[in-house]
Structure 1
């Protein structure tokens, strides 16, 4: 009876896994397959293979939507904002976790509140007008950095507790200053959570559509996610180009995920402490 129950549970788990996988793979398959169709066929949005494979859709998207410039903008926003945001959050989380005085506890809860409040773009646009940051890359990057700080601090704060304080004491005895101790001793130990935050925030910035939409009106500042505006609107609906643009936007995220996953596994074993 016990063996039959285990077999039944295994079947149920497999069925659930297959269903969840299909929920992800079927839409992805539809996007990829429709990116090789003609305008008329792509508008039907079915799962059939195209009657004629149109590989030129990708060439047209690159040329007509300025996708190379969009790729450069997306890469600048994602890399700069994620790198700066994760490092600042790691430094803040380390101090808040190591020195748990009353004001630090209150600051920690203040940062955590940011997880529950959405971005108010109306107020944000007004503030940016005062500081002349509208239609600037700096303004967009600052918004991305500020939006990722609450999550990164929340994630890194808990991990800092697993880093032994004895390591800090040994570094101080060896003559290391605060910054030297953090970057040379503690930061390598925090590699798993740092890499996790970097991957998640990079993907979030790369896929963000609303922030560049509200804070920039210049096409020279548009990331890859906004290239769909060139092919979809009230008077035109080039779904074949839209799907091709989506596929090309997904490729860098997938690459970063797989590279980061490998480093995450290395960091998990490399950051372990022997007792």
Structure 2
């Protein structure tokens, strides 16, 4: 019985390795053909190149402006992440503390941005009227607007668990609103803010449609 179980596990491992190798074939194909000349690369085979060509990478970097594109993406994603985390955390804090009818309505209106699709025709018109189309501030503001609803939703759940007693104690000790948030609440949200920042950065970094339309 034990031998049969070991044999089954061994066959499962072999099958897993085979599937993994099959899935790696496209990646190996790309890497091998990257070092081939144009004529050899057109064959799309897994054979090693007859003559190793390294100029392909120089061509991609120079003609494709790879470094500039990388820096642009870093600028857009980085600035949008900072703005989203800053304003998202403040909005989540206010929504969590004002749970009256107006506060709940404003929170629901904000969170609806997660599920409502973007109307690119109307948005293009708004960008043209505000002269933000084809500009760095414009794309950063767009990224901020699209990522803010989910960030508020994510941080709202965490900041709601922070006791209101801390706010009251801080106010009694003389804290103003700005010092209360940035001195007490914001540091306590560190773990959730890091999570929100990572998700926001990845989403904006991988975004393709908006730069295609608005840049």
Shift of 1:210: 1.1
Task: Give 1:144-223 correspondences, 5 Å limit.
Answer: 144-216=143-215
| 2:137 is equivalent to residue 135 of structure 1 | no
What per-residue deviation string (whole Å, max 9, x for no partner) do you get for residues 7-42 of structure 1? Answer: 9xx99x989998997898665555555444443454
For 1:161 and 1:65, how far apart are their aligned partners in 2? 47
Query: Partner of 2:154: helix, strand, or coil?
Result: helix
Match of 1:114 in 2: 113
For 1:17 and 1:174, how far apart are their aligned partners in 2? 62
Task: Give 1:85-104 correspondences, 5 Å limit.
Answer: 85-104=84-103
Shift of 1:103: 0.9
- Cα separation, partners in 2 of 1:104 and 1:66, compared to 1, 3 Å: same
Pairs aligned (count): 213
Shift of 1:165: 2.5
Unmatched 5+ stretches in structure 2: none
Give the number of the structure with larger relative contact order, counting CA–CA contacts within 8 Å between residues 6 or more apart.
1
Task: Give 1:1-275 correspondences, 5 Å limit.
Answer: 31-43=30-42, 50-216=49-215
For 1:200 and 1:18, how far apart are their aligned partners in 2? 31
Q: How high is the TM-score relative to the length of structure 1?
A: 0.65
Shift of 1:115: 1.1
Max Rg structure: 2
Q: How high is the TM-score relative to the length of structure 2?
A: 0.81
For 1:183 and 1:131, how far apart are their aligned partners in 2? 32
